[in-house]
């Protein structure tokens, strides 16, 4: 059994864990970050895409609102390349009480959130697809944020400061010496090998899985409630501004334009198991109906895909604060001090929060560790830009097209929906050192457009085969695994044009290429990415 040592072990490679690794590495700690899967394959890669202005919480959850107001401004400064400044509108639909708008304005004023009430006609000129029957409209500095780009940028930054990032490494046990956690045993999910990590301190940033991790240290009853939400991606930008209903947070009340699509969401249902997130027909219907309130005709637009994510909501049973409805649980975060709470030292858990507040959450967690260790070091993440963000420019939707236009006559396009050229794809495959097309999808948006991989994925598989030197069986495994993943998100919303697309894709893969009759692949389609290459991954093109 191999053993490695580190000062800080971070469990979970979502937004929080990557933020924690970046923060701790910037403070000069030796860090190991582990995730059981690819980075941002948990909730962070399955969220709604909104960099909150705070407007959603100004009436109901003022602490969360204050945190969002501050962090929205900081993230624009330090990770601009991950953020598109779409702006946001809160609109009063015919189903909403116009008087809520006054409470909203008052809440914004209290939180220092810049907002302005504009005439309905002006809102409709900004967003012609908006419900013409809206009664009030308010501007806010909402934006869309690319989670994959964010997480990889932070992880690459941490790696540049010496952190080791081990993806596809699951924590299977925590080591204890008396009442102190001293590290973890992890299993490499690709090779099956186990590894011991000796750690001076362990930071649990495993989101909705946090309770599973602390249970390995004999700690029960930690109040992380998994709150499931579904979202549906529509095939283009029905709006270019984030549209929120101006009412108490409810289901299906936000439409976020992100990259080439717009996403309607979300629900909020207590979930028993963060790995079991079935999507029901009722939820899909409800989401589409809710979307109609904001943008009439949304139901007739082409829905590409539906997926679910799970919030790590914080409601400590020890504190006795119980909310029956997960919507009533605050969106703030909490550092769970296991030494104080459970008599277990060397371990802290981060719970709750939002992707928008990832930096603050990381700062609070690393500050708490420093305090416990009596080794105070200042946080620098509000001032230092991680890789890819150096020029300080906010992301612009047209940037990919601009780059393609420069080389359009020389380079083969592999994914037309997302404008991915062959060179970029080959480069990403090499840098990620992966055989898994889904890893490439998270880096480049490969196969995320209207055809859902129908036209690009067999070409990409051929290139992966060439570049990755996979044998036929491995290439088949990678292809079928990708198609199965896409199918999971497509079948619950198969109607209209997307149903036709699915039939066409089926003819291509079954009829023309005979995918079913290709030699069976070994393994599960997950490639044997080399540890030392993983963190070099997506570069400036990683997207959500």
Nearer to ligand FAD, 137 or 210 (CB): 210
- How many other CB atoms are found less than 10 A from the CB of residue 503? 11
- What would the two tokens of residue 536 be? 């070099």
Tell me which of 37, 195, 234, 304 binds ligand FAD, using CB under 6 A. Answer: 37
Binding of residue 313 to ligand FAD (CB under 6 A): no
Find the binding residues for ligand FAD in span 85-144 (CB under 6 A): none
Question: Contact, 71 vs 91, CB < 8 A?
Answer: no
Nearer to ligand FAD, 338 or 354 (CB): 354
From CA 37, how far away is CA 321, in angstroms rounded? 33
Tell me which of 62, 103, 170, 382 binds ligand FAD, using CB under 6 A. Answer: 170
Separation of CA 253 from chain center: 19
Number of residues that bind ligand FAD (CB under 6 A): 39
Question: Contact, 225 vs 326, CB < 8 A?
Answer: yes
Tell me which of 171, 190, 264, 542 binds ligand FAD, using CB under 6 A. Answer: 171
Tell me which of 50, 78, 195, 493 binds ligand FAD, using CB under 6 A. Answer: 50
Separation of CA 334 from chain center: 20
From 82-90, 207-215, 337-345, 486-494, give the range in contact with ligand FAD by CB under 6 A: 207-215
- What would the two tokens of residue 81 be? 């390349």
Tell me which of 15, 258, 261, 264 binds ligand FAD, using CB under 6 A. Answer: 15
Binding of residue 149 to ligand FAD (CB under 6 A): no
Binding of residue 79 to ligand FAD (CB under 6 A): no
Binding of residue 229 to ligand FAD (CB under 6 A): yes
Binding of residue 493 to ligand FAD (CB under 6 A): no
CB 204 → ligand FAD: shortest distance, Å?
9
From CA 251, how far away is CA 287, in angstroms rounded? 7
Bridge partners (DSSP) of residue 196 are 3, 185
Q: Where are the beta strands (DSSP E) in 302-419?
A: 303-314, 333-337, 347-352, 413-415
Tell me which of 17, 449, 450, 525 binds ligand FAD, using CB under 6 A. Answer: 17
Distances (CA, A) of 25 to 82, 194, 502: 21, 25, 45
Q: Where are the beta strands (DSSP E) in 66-149?
A: 83-84, 88-92, 116-118, 136-140, 143-145
Question: Contact, 526 vs 482, CB < 8 A?
Answer: no
From CA 468, how far away is CA 87, in angstroms rounded? 41
Binding of residue 41 to ligand FAD (CB under 6 A): yes
**Cis ω before 266 (30° cut-off from 0):** yes
x/- string (CB under 6 A) for ligand FAD, residues 244-283?
---------------------xx-----------------
Instruction: Give me the residue whose beta carbon is nearest to ligand FAD.
Output: 14
Residues in the chain: 544
Binding of residue 311 to ligand FAD (CB under 6 A): yes
Binding of residue 287 to ligand FAD (CB under 6 A): no
- Binding stretches for ligand FAD (CB under 6 A): 11-17, 34-37, 41-44, 47-50, 52, 170-171, 205-209, 229, 231, 265-266, 309-312, 353-356
């Amino acid at each position: 059994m191999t053993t490695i040592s580190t000062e800080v072990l971070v469990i979970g490679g979502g937004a929080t864990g990557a933020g924690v690794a970046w923060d701790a590495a910037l403070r000069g700690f030796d860090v190991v970050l582990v995730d059981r899967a690819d980075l941002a394959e948990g909730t962070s890669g399955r969220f709604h895409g909104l960099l909150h202005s705070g407007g959603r919480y100004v009436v109901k959850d003022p602490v969360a609102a204050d945190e969002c107001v501050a962090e929205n401004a900081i993230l624009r400064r330090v990770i601009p390349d991950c953020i598109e400044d779409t702006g946001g509108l809160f609109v009063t639909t015919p189903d909403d009480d116009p008087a809520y708008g006054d409470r909203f304005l008052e809440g914004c004023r209290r939180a220092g959130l810049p907002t302005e009430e504009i005439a309905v006609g002006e809102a409709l000129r900004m967003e012609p697809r908006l419900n013409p029957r809206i009664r009030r409209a308010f501007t806010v500095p909402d934006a869309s944020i690319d989670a994959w780009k964010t997480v990889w940028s932070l992880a690459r930054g941490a790696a540049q400061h010496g952190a080791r990032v081990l993806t596809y490494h699951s924590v299977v046990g925590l080591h204890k010496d008396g009442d102190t956690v001293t590290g973890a045993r992890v299993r490499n999910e690709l090779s099956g090998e186990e590894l011991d990590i000796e750690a001076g301190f362990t930071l649990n940033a495993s989101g909705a899985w946090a309770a599973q991790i602390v249970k390995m240290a004999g700690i029960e009853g930690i109040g992380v409630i998994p709150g499931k939400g579904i979202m549906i991606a529509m095939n283009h930008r029905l709006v270019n501004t984030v549209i929120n209903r101006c009412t108490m947070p409810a289901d299906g009340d936000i439409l976020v334009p992100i990259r080439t699509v717009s996403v309607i969401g979300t629900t909020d249902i207590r979930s028993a198991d963060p790995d079991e997130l079935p999507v029901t027909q009722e939820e899909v219907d409800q989401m589409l109906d809710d979307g109609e309130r904001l943008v009439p005709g949304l139901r007739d637009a082409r829905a590409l895909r539906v997926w679910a994510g799970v919030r790590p909501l914080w409601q400590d049973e020890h504190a006795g604060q119980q909310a029956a409805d997960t919507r009533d649980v605050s969106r703030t975060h909490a550092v769970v001090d296991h030494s104080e709470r459970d008599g277990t030292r060397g371990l802290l858990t981060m719970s709750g929060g939002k992707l928008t507040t990832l930096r603050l959450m990381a700062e609070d967690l690393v500050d708490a560790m420093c305090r416990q260790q009596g080794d105070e070091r200042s946080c620098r993440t509000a001032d230092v830009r991680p890789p890819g963000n150096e020029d300080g420019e906010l992301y612009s939707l047209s940037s990919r097209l601009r780059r393609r236009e420069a080389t359009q006559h020389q380079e083969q396009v592999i994914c037309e929906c997302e404008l991915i050229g062959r060179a970029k794809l080959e480069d990403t495959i090499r840098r990620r050192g992966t055989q898994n097309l889904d890893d490439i999808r998270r880096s480049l948006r490969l196969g995320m457009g209207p055809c859902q991989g129908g036209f690009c994925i067999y070409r990409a598989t051929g290139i992966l085969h060439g570049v990755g030197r996979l044998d036929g069986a491995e290439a088949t495994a990678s292809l079928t695994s990708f198609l199965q993943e896409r199918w999971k998100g497509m079948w619950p919303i198969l109607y209209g044009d997307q149903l036709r697309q699915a039939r066409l894709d089926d003819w291509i893969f079954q009829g023309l290429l005979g995918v079913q009759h290709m030699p069976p692949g070994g393994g599960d389609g997950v490639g044997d990415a080399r540890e030392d290459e993983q963190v070099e991954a997506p570069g400036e093109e990683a997207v959500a």
